[in-house]
Structure 1
Amino acid sequence: MTLDTTKHAAQTPDDGQPWAELGLKQDEYERIRAILGRRPTGAELAMYSVMWSEHCSYKSSKVHLRQFGEKAPESDALLVGIGENAGVVDVGQGYAVTFKVESHNHPSYIEPYQGAATGVGGIVRDILAMGARPVAVMDPLRFGAADHPDTKRVLPGVVAGIGGYGNCLGLPNIGGEVVFDPCYQGNPLVNALCVGVMKHEDIHLAKASGAGNKVILYGARTGGDGIGGVSVLASETFDAAGDSASGTGKPTKRPAVQVGDPFQEKLLIECTLEIFKEELVEGIQDLGGAGLSCATSELASAGSGGMRVELDTVPLRDSSLSPEEILMSESQERMCAIVKPEKVDRFLEICEKWDVIATVIGEVTDGERLEIYWHGEQIVDVPPRTVAHEGPVYERPYARPEWQDALQADDADKLPRPATAEELREQVLKVVASPNQASKSWITDQYDRFVQGNTVLAQPEDSGMVRVDEETGLGVAVATDGNGRYAKLDPYAGAQLALAESYRNVAASGATPLAISNCLNFGSPEDPAVMWQFAEATRGLADGCLTLGTPVTGGNVSLYNQTGEVAIHPTPVVAVLGVIDDVARRTPIAFAEEGQLLYLLGDTAAELGGSAWSQVIHDHLGGLPPKVDLERERLLAEILISASRDGMVDAAHDLSDGGLIQALTESCLRGGKGVRIVVPDGLDPFVLLFSESAGRAVVAVPRSEEVRFKDMCGARGLPAARIGVIDGDAIDVQGQFSIPLAELREPYEATIPGLLA
């Protein structure tokens, strides 16, 4: 078989090529031919196909994502923004923190364990590539109906993959979410977040500069796993029968799912950090989606020259791999570094010390082309920017779906409410024991939350928090949130509610929100209704970040989360990172001190559209989500942060899914203390307990601090109503019902194990 070199490609312009099988459209293939002035070689076609995939190029979302830059708020904290492997923010005392959230959705449905495990591995390497030591991970997860048989296949595998990989790396898993909904049945969402810490001077960027500098590939050998993982698997929908290729279910796409080795990744982390410490690299990039195609083209594109790579020097696990397969492989635990010639020997010494394979595979040139050779024959000769940064940009048609008005008109106000106190009590027990509201400890107990010894708060707290500096107590808090039911009702408001809830969660723990990362999970961009949802959610998020002063530092778009004609709910997941000067002043959710007073902060209205109550009691989704008031969210956050810093509150919990009764349940069971609640005059007990009005929190105030706390809220104009006291061993809503904590705890803790046993 003749090797398809650039010379051969020029001589055989009419040779047929499998561009459609690689996920390219005909006009995209013709554009590649126009760029090169000939047909592409097989290796070039492989590179363009993966790099121009939806997952890598953001070709359907770029036009909307630009708003995150155009509307970006001014921020003194932002050090590195959108466009790098991860965003970086200044947290004070010379420290910088990098964080990012990404998706590994399709692979996790096909092969739950490896899909989730390599999702963790990939996001950890993104953080490592910025120059930081990874210090914590989080995982926002969405699954199909909790009682569906396939959920028992997917969820345990995903959880085992996250726990197995993260625990082996020695990284604490400090938060995230687990949500069940039938819309995710064939398209579970497995989003992974990592946080890393470094000093300002340790920041590294992905660029290849300096002619003569060497390109070093180090880490695991390249194998046949993950070939086409982003171009084929994550950039198309599943068909109605399951697998997008065969229609027969899960197995046929398994070769496209990467296989992870956390012990190799641990060696890679320590090796890389030592290389950084000795200042041996000029640029660095991890190998994740699109593998070597991505690393070489992005490094060259962001640099000052070209690059020449000898592909046959790449260490392989499988000697039968073709050049195209080597370029497309997404084998894990690999990095690519740009190193000055005089520093190569020391670089290789450190790799050998850590038992990490390292090979010089090329060098930076003074040209403008990315050239790749196979046994001396040129198989790639491309302008690197056309591969990495100048892919297609689509302005997909979008339109408000015809059913949106009817959905919003189907208001939850029409649903029958409990007629008696006994019925109200029964509904409380049903809601708090429902899969979405019940304890997730069966899941989170499989994650190590406290390894490294710097975890200050972890699930089920409002946010995860880790200590950055042992001497001063400097720390960072991170929360992730997203409510697909809200976003289905109103994508613009739903995205802002996700932002507001994460922002509120960080503030409730005592930290000041600084910046966000996001993972935007949607259906097929070829559906105008889905694109409208995406456009509205992106616009809502950009507007919300501008109002709150929290710039978007980066993130991920995951499209084609759809089976046949059935798309997931639009699910923008928002991660907010905040800083706290001293983690000793953090605020937990637990009600632990009897006699402390409970204050409800914010306004409560009869807002039940998309609520947990409407879902659990009536299996209903309709109406409008809670109203968003971002200025109120900012005020509430200021109060929560000040109260935490000045010792005015001992516990705080935001109000969101499930309303006040859910927050009370979690705080009471966490601290082992009951509460007595008095319904404020003029407020329906049902609305008090189940409303999901935004901009609210419940706090526990020591009696000695009550006057000072009330004065602060009054002076700043935040509604604060005293609604009860921490007392006894039950949740006692006076004049309505009393539920002993023991009676509440049993179903709350038994639901998830019962479903997954």
Structure 2
Amino acid sequence: MSSMTRTPLDTVKHASGTPGAEQPWAELGLSRHEYERIREILGRRPTGAELAMYSVMWSEHCSYKSSKVHLKQFGDKAPPSDALLVGIGEQAGVVDVGQGYAVTFKVESHNHPSYVEPYQGAATGIGGIVRDIIAMGARPVAVMDPLRFGAADHPDTKRVLPGVVAGIGGYGNCLGLPNIGGEVVFDPCYQGNPLVNALCVGVMRHEDIHLAKAAGVGNKVILYGARTGGDGIGGASILASETFDDAKPSKRPSVQVGDPFQEKLLIECTLEAFAEDLVVGIQDLGAAGLSCATSELASNGTGGMRVELDVVPLRDATLSPEEILMSESQERMCAVVEPAKAERFLAVCEKWDVTATVIGEVTDGDRLEIFWHGEQIVDVPPRTVAHDGPVYERPMARPGWLDALRADDAAKLPRPGAADGDALRAQVLRLVGSPNQADKSWITSQYDRFVLGNTVLAQPEDSGMIRIDEETGLGVALATDGNGRYAKLDPYAGAQLALAESYRNVAATGARPLAVTDCLNFPSPEDPAGMWQFAEACRGLADACRTLGTPVTGGNVSLYNQTGDQPIHPTPVVGVLGVIDDVARRTPMAFATEGQLLYLLGDTRPELGGSAWSQVVHEHLGGLPPAVDLERERLLAEILIAASRDGMIGAAHDLSDGGLVQAVVESCLRGGHGARLVVPEELEAAVFLFSESQGRAVVAVPRSEEMRFTDMCGARGLPATRIGVVDGDTLELQGHFGIPLTELRETYERTIPELFA
């Protein structure tokens, strides 16, 4: 960034007198139109510092300039919700979970940095999302990580995955936060663009909610946490705002470097300041660093702000003002504090060995003014930096290849007949041992899942669950899901299927789904086909949230996930938060009791488009994804929640990737008991085993509860078919094949260690 440095200093006065000076706007990722718009706003050319601020804040990653027009639907179509306390627009959404408790949660992406530097990219993804949760006033209680990598056997996956997993585990474990769920998916489309999404959830009392705003003339602006360094200059903000291309400068910004021990101090320091009511407004420093924190705080407040940039504590004394404003060094936050409380705030920081410096104050004007050794280098309307950036309605076009892809129906693929038990058996083992379906404990065992002592359920359960209140057992459950194969076949339905699966996962544990966060991972918005996929996914998710009554509280958009002309599958990842009154009534997935009856809930059809079976057995992607029936999803959830609450079921597992047989294998291995299954007369065996029809779950019902459970399903109109019994040490499909659990376990558990250990 040395080209940004000006000698003499590029002050506002100097900029006004040198309108024709050359500026590196294109190098910083701005278009000519955007640069001219900045000049129009200011009535002059920007200073180097102003140009730096606008460039990072108007980047795709920070401004959502290509996605805003579509994201509006999440507000316009939002269902009414008594639980929603803070919605879209703040650092994270907040929902009421009862008993005076509020929960805040959010998922974000750190995709591009994690490809460039897997360990630090993933680690700082955890650090950043945790600070978003702290800034809302909450204590973080758990994290989750939905991950996507290239082909499991590709050499570069062996570089990226171990680094990402080590970064997530290293940072989260040091913070003492349990990692309770997520996903790991392999597909060649993610080869050059792995998806590293990070979710954090925090808990607070209603009265503890804090927002990002600078209100109150004379209030002090205090920067606290780590010193500012050269790492991450233009990192997430610019790196995530273009496709990967080695020839472009945006391929090479420095990835942020994390220090989890510093973040742990920052958490405790911030929570103590909140407890003493020392803070008026607060903002974490993530993407765009000080440029974001100062402009957003000022924009959300009632006045202006004056900042003395030269007092910012530095790790590198050679940094220019522009570099200080663009740095994305981690473990930093900005607080607005009343003058009478500033001394006490600084004392709290000193107690926790956290560096804190008064860098400015709230003014009675309407400008963000930044000074460097007494010289003014920034004089801007803060809203134009933080909120009023460019908004694009990108060209969209339904891709021409889509009809042929859909016409290539997976239901036409050859599948074993009723008499071919050996072929069915072989295909079950291939499926169970495939990288996407195989056991992921080699990965998840590197995360501490039970630290803090409140983890009730964690991977591989359908959703993670955390106890919030020890006395009453109040808890929350969280699940994240997304299927890029479904979304490629139909992005509208694909987004709805992602929501439906997360919703179903939460309900399967006995929790009532309340709200949604999303991370929308898509290709370049400059490709009309990619933009169409994004728009369709937004429309589908907004429509589904309205139907299910689960508002979107916030999230993240990650675009430009492609290398050259090779895009990822459109991958909307949807997180659902649910509440359970007493975690002691939760439902696990394990078949743990001999003799319990197995019931299949829902309807099974020959729906194999985008399925794991079609991928593993035939290396095929085509047809249509399974049909979405949101009312059926709602009904299924009601049944699962009531059955859990009333003790009618001993285990439940949703049916999704891999169909019934994958769910049964996982539940058998989790509980250490086999199962005897019978194919219903109306179904062929392969469809029974491998179909991915939605709105389904398999449950284990104690014999004493069978009549009560089936009566409830019948009264509410949910199909419930008895398909077998928990029994023995073999998975048996009567009349077709048997597979000992020892063989299933060996097949299920060996794949990932053989690839990556």
- How far did residue 747 of structure 1 move? 1.4
Contact 2:96 2:102 in 1 (8 A): yes
Query: CA offsets per residue over residues 294-332 of structure 1, 9 Å max, x none?
Result: 000000000000000000000000000000000000000
Give the one of 210, 217, 220 matched to 1:204: 210
- What CA distance in whole angstroms lies between the structure 1 residues aligned with 2:75 and 2:228? 36
Classify 1:244/1:184 alpha carbon distance in 2 versus 1 (closer, same or farther; 3 Å): farther
Contact 1:268 1:333 in 2 (8 A): yes
- How far did residue 244 of structure 1 move? 5.4
Query: CA offsets per residue over residues 486-545 of structure 1, 9 Å max, x none?
Result: 000000000000000000000000000000000000000000000000000000000000
Contact 1:611 1:692 in 2 (8 A): yes
Give the one of 320, 323, 328 matched to 1:322: 320
Contact 1:73 1:549 in 2 (8 A): yes
Classify 1:13/1:254 alpha carbon distance in 2 versus 1 (closer, same or farther; 3 Å): closer
Classify 1:701/1:332 alpha carbon distance in 2 versus 1 (closer, same or farther; 3 Å): same
- 1:232-381 equivalences under 5 Å are 232-239=238-245, 243=246, 245=248, 253=251, 255-381=253-379
Match of 1:551 in 2: 551
- How far did residue 682 of structure 1 move? 1.5
Q: Which amino acid aligns with 1:671?
A: G
For 1:66, what is the secondary structure of its paired residue? helix
For 2:679, what is the secondary structure of its paired residue? coil
Matching of residue 599 in structure 1 with residue 613 in structure 2: no
- What CA distance in whole angstroms lies between the structure 1 residues aligned with 2:656 and 2:262? 40
| Unaligned residue ranges in structure 1 (runs of 5+) | 247-251
CA RMSD of aligned residues (A): 0.7
Q: Which amino acid aligns with 1:104?
A: H
Query: CA offsets per residue over residues 14-49 of structure 1, 9 Å max, x none?
Result: 000000000000000000000000000000000000
Contact 1:224 1:255 in 2 (8 A): no
Contact 1:435 1:751 in 2 (8 A): yes
For 1:560, what is the secondary structure of its paired residue? coil
- What CA distance in whole angstroms lies between the structure 2 residues aligned with 1:148 and 1:202? 48
Give the one of 235, 240, 256 matched to 1:229: 235
- What CA distance in whole angstroms lies between the structure 1 residues aligned with 2:100 and 2:252? 45
- How far did residue 255 of structure 1 move? 4.7
Classify 1:402/1:253 alpha carbon distance in 2 versus 1 (closer, same or farther; 3 Å): closer
Matching of residue 217 in structure 1 with residue 223 in structure 2: yes
Matching of residue 39 in structure 1 with residue 39 in structure 2: no
Query: After the TM superposition, which segments of 4 or more aligned residues of structure 1 sit over 4 Å from their partners?
Result: 252-255
Matching of residue 747 in structure 1 with residue 747 in structure 2: yes
Match of 2:4 in 1: none
Query: CA offsets per residue over residues 24-80 of structure 1, 9 Å max, x none?
Result: 000000000000000000000000000000000000000000000000000000000
Match of 1:152 in 2: 158
Q: Which amino acid aligns with 2:379?
A: D
Match of 1:115 in 2: 121
- What CA distance in whole angstroms lies between the structure 2 residues aligned with 1:100 and 1:495? 17
Matching of residue 75 in structure 1 with residue 81 in structure 2: yes
Query: CA offsets per residue over residues 611-662 of structure 1, 9 Å max, x none?
Result: 0000001100000000000000000000000000000001000000000000
For 1:605, what is the secondary structure of its paired residue? coil
- How far did residue 416 of structure 1 move? 1.1
Contact 1:50 1:230 in 2 (8 A): no
- How far did residue 164 of structure 1 move? 0.0
Q: Which amino acid aligns with 1:371?
A: E
- What CA distance in whole angstroms lies between the structure 2 residues aligned with 1:718 and 1:126? 41
- What CA distance in whole angstroms lies between the structure 1 residues aligned with 2:530 and 2:77? 23
- 1:20-99 equivalences under 5 Å are 20-99=26-105
- What CA distance in whole angstroms lies between the structure 2 residues aligned with 1:534 and 1:549? 22
- What CA distance in whole angstroms lies between the structure 2 residues aligned with 1:600 and 1:332? 48
- How far did residue 415 of structure 1 move? 1.0
Match of 1:249 in 2: none
Contact 2:110 2:236 in 1 (8 A): no
- What CA distance in whole angstroms lies between the structure 1 residues aligned with 2:650 and 2:334? 48
- What CA distance in whole angstroms lies between the structure 2 residues aligned with 1:682 and 1:344? 73
Q: Which amino acid aligns with 2:421?
A: A
Q: Which amino acid aligns with 2:611?
A: S
Q: Which amino acid aligns with 1:286?
A: D
For 2:78, what is the secondary structure of its paired residue? coil
- What CA distance in whole angstroms lies between the structure 2 residues aligned with 1:707 and 1:202? 47
- What CA distance in whole angstroms lies between the structure 2 residues aligned with 1:711 and 1:366? 67
- How far did residue 441 of structure 1 move? 0.3
Match of 1:138 in 2: 144
- What CA distance in whole angstroms lies between the structure 1 residues aligned with 2:562 and 2:144? 24
Matching of residue 658 in structure 1 with residue 658 in structure 2: yes
- What CA distance in whole angstroms lies between the structure 1 residues aligned with 2:411 and 2:77? 36
- How far did residue 253 of structure 1 move? 4.9
Calculate the TM-score normalised by the size of structure 1. 0.98
Match of 1:623 in 2: 623
Give the one of 18, 21, 29 matched to 2:24: 18
Contact 1:314 1:361 in 2 (8 A): yes
- 1:500-649 equivalences under 5 Å are 500-649=500-649
Match of 1:165 in 2: 171
For 1:514, what is the secondary structure of its paired residue? strand
Match of 1:410 in 2: 408
Match of 1:447 in 2: 447
Give the one of 163, 183, 190 matched to 1:184: 190
- How far did residue 681 of structure 1 move? 1.1
- How far did residue 573 of structure 1 move? 0.1
Aligned length: 749
Q: Which amino acid aligns with 1:216?
A: I
Classify 1:237/1:253 alpha carbon distance in 2 versus 1 (closer, same or farther; 3 Å): closer
- What CA distance in whole angstroms lies between the structure 2 residues aligned with 1:132 and 1:103? 21
- How far did residue 546 of structure 1 move? 0.2
- How far did residue 254 of structure 1 move? 6.0
Match of 2:3 in 1: none
Query: CA offsets per residue over residues 212-262 of structure 1, 9 Å max, x none?
Result: 0000000000000000113321100013xxx3537xxxxx95652100000
- How far did residue 756 of structure 1 move? 1.1
- What CA distance in whole angstroms lies between the structure 2 residues aligned with 1:512 and 1:591? 22
Contact 2:290 2:324 in 1 (8 A): yes
595-604 vs 419-428, greater mean Cα deviation: 419-428
For 1:598, what is the secondary structure of its paired residue? strand
- How far did residue 418 of structure 1 move? 1.9
Calculate the TM-score normalised by the size of structure 2. 0.98
Contact 2:113 2:236 in 1 (8 A): no
For 2:202, what is the secondary structure of its paired residue? strand
- What CA distance in whole angstroms lies between the structure 2 residues aligned with 1:381 and 1:362? 14
- What CA distance in whole angstroms lies between the structure 2 residues aligned with 1:254 and 1:351? 35
| Unaligned residue ranges in structure 2 (runs of 5+) | 1-6
Query: CA offsets per residue over residues 132-160 of structure 1, 9 Å max, x none?
Result: 00000000000000000000000000000
Contact 2:655 2:698 in 1 (8 A): yes
Q: Which amino acid aligns with 1:301?
A: S
- What CA distance in whole angstroms lies between the structure 2 residues aligned with 1:486 and 1:147? 23
- What CA distance in whole angstroms lies between the structure 1 residues aligned with 2:379 and 2:208? 34
- What CA distance in whole angstroms lies between the structure 2 residues aligned with 1:231 and 1:13? 27
Q: Which amino acid aligns with 1:141?
A: L
Identical counterparts, % of pairs: 84
Q: Which amino acid aligns with 1:275?
A: A
For 2:462, what is the secondary structure of its paired residue? coil
- How far did residue 382 of structure 1 move? 0.1
Q: Which amino acid aligns with 2:489?
A: L
Q: Which amino acid aligns with 2:684?
A: D
Contact 2:84 2:96 in 1 (8 A): yes
- What CA distance in whole angstroms lies between the structure 1 residues aligned with 2:121 and 2:676? 46
Query: CA offsets per residue over residues 153-191 of structure 1, 9 Å max, x none?
Result: 000000000000000000000000000000000000000
